[in-house]
């Protein structure tokens, strides 16, 4: 469960001061899929950064699995994040000079997982995104879709319970984007990973359990767009 209470976030000082988030209250149950939607500059990425402890608000509470993460020291937040959370951010480019294998290894090295355990976990994550054959390839030689799959492998390798994705399909052609989308929802449905996605894509947003509409830093509405189940589908 992720709970946000009374979140206010400003950037800059004095005349430059800009309020990016205004009185945000939000609850995300475990295993939910959540879309954060809104215009460019509305505060979606800021909201995601605050939720995950990457950025600190000026006021409010961020409680993740019972832990108020704003009460933790920086190192403890980093540890908390590396144990529980995975990130797929457009800005988190893969290391081009390194192999796929080594890119996926990084979060495990940060989390101080022993070398012996790492190999199996890395190969599992690469397998999950169908990139086993590219394990030794340098990341810069991969296509856009493959790089994004690699970013997913890296995000899931430490088995996070929450996955944050900031416009994960934004730079991809629609077929490749759909493949990435399937991967994310499979992880959500099969492994119960809580999925929080910032997206412009209406179809993607409508597949989520919860849609948070944000405008000028404030939540405008929270919808639960349950799609009708397909005929013959299990309930």
Ligand X SMILES: Nc1ncnc2c1ncn2[C@@H]1O[C@H](COP(=O)(O)OP(=O)(O)O)[C@@H](O)[C@H]1O
Query: Of 45 and 148, which CB lies nearer to Mg ion in the complex structure?
Result: 45
CA distances, 45 to each of 108, 129, 165, 217 (Å):
25, 25, 10, 10
Q: For residue 45, state whether it binds Mg ion (rule: CB under 5 A).
A: yes
Q: Under a CB-based contact definition with an 8 Å cutoff, are residues 179 and 103 in contact?
A: no
> Could you give the count of Cα atoms lying within 13 Å of 16 in the half-sphere of its Cβ?
3
Provide, rounded to whole angstroms, the least separation between the CB of residue 114 and Mg ion: 36
> Could you give the count of Cα atoms lying within 13 Å of 157 in the half-sphere of its Cβ?
31
Q: For residue 52, state whether it binds ligand X (rule: CB under 6 A).
A: no
In the set 11, 29, 65, 220, which binds ligand X (CB under 6 A)? 11
Size of the site for Mg ion (CB under 5 A): 1
CA distances, 7 to each of 18, 59, 63, 203 (Å):
14, 6, 11, 28
In the set 20, 94, 126, 212, which binds ligand X (CB under 6 A)? 20
Residue 24 in 3-state DSSP?
strand
Buried b or exposed e, range 26-64, using 16+ CB within 10 angstroms: bebeebbbbbbbbeeebbbbbbbbbbbbbbebeebebbb
Query: Of 40 and 175, which CB lies nearer to ligand X in the complex structure?
Result: 40
Q: For residue 148, state whether it binds ligand X (rule: CB under 6 A).
A: no
Query: Of 36 and 153, which CB lies nearer to ligand X in the complex structure?
Result: 36
Provide, rounded to whole angstroms, the least separation between the CB of residue 48 and ligand X: 8
Q: For residue 86, state whether it binds ligand X (rule: CB under 6 A).
A: no
By a kind-dependent CB cut-off of 5 to 8 A, residue 43 interacts, out of ligand X, Mg ion, none, with: ligand X
CB atoms within 10 A of CB 13: 8
By a kind-dependent CB cut-off of 5 to 8 A, residue 42 interacts, out of ligand X, Mg ion, none, with: ligand X
In the set 33, 42, 105, 169, which binds ligand X (CB under 6 A)? 42
**Which tokens in the block code for residue 185?**
């929802």
By a kind-dependent CB cut-off of 5 to 8 A, residue 194 interacts, out of ligand X, Mg ion, none, with: none
The stretch among 28-36, 39-47, 132-140, 178-186 that binds Mg ion (CB under 5 A) is: 39-47
By a kind-dependent CB cut-off of 5 to 8 A, residue 33 interacts, out of Mg ion, ligand X, none, with: none
Q: Under a CB-based contact definition with an 8 Å cutoff, are residues 135 and 105 in contact?
A: no
Query: Of 43 and 86, which CB lies nearer to ligand X in the complex structure?
Result: 43
CA distance 112 to 56: 25
Q: For residue 44, state whether it binds ligand X (rule: CB under 6 A).
A: yes
Site residues (vs ligand X, CB under 6 A): 11-12, 18, 20, 38, 40-46
């Amino acid at each position: 469960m992720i709970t946000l209470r009374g979140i206010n976030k400003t950037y800059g000082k004095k005349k430059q001061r800009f309020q990016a988030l205004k009185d945000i209250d939000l609850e995300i149950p475990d295993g939910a899929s959540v879309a954060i939607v809104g215009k460019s500059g509305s505060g979606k990425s800021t909201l995601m950064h605050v939720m995950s402890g990457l950025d600190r608000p000026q006021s409010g509470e961020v409680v993740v699995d019972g832990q108020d993460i704003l009460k933790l020291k920086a190192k403890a937040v980093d540890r908390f994040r590396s144990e529980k959370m995975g990130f797929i951010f457009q800005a988190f480019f893969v290391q081009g000079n390194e192999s796929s294998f080594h890119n996926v290894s990084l979060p495990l090295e940060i989390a101080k997982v022993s070398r012996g355990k790492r190999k199996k976990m890395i190969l599992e994550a690469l397998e999950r995104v169908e990139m086993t054959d590219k394990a030794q390839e340098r990341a810069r030689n991969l296509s856009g879709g493959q790089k994004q799959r690699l970013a997913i492998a890296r995000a899931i390798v430490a088995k996070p319970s929450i996955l944050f994705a900031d416009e994960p399909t934004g730079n991809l052609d629609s077929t490749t984007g759909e493949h990435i989308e399937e991967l994310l929802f499979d992880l959500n449905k099969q492994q119960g990973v809580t999925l929080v996605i910032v997206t412009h894509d209406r179809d993607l947003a409508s597949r989520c359990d919860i849609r948070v509409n944000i405008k000028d830093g404030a939540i405008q509405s929270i919808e639960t767009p349950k799609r009708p189940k397909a005929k013959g589908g299990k309930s």
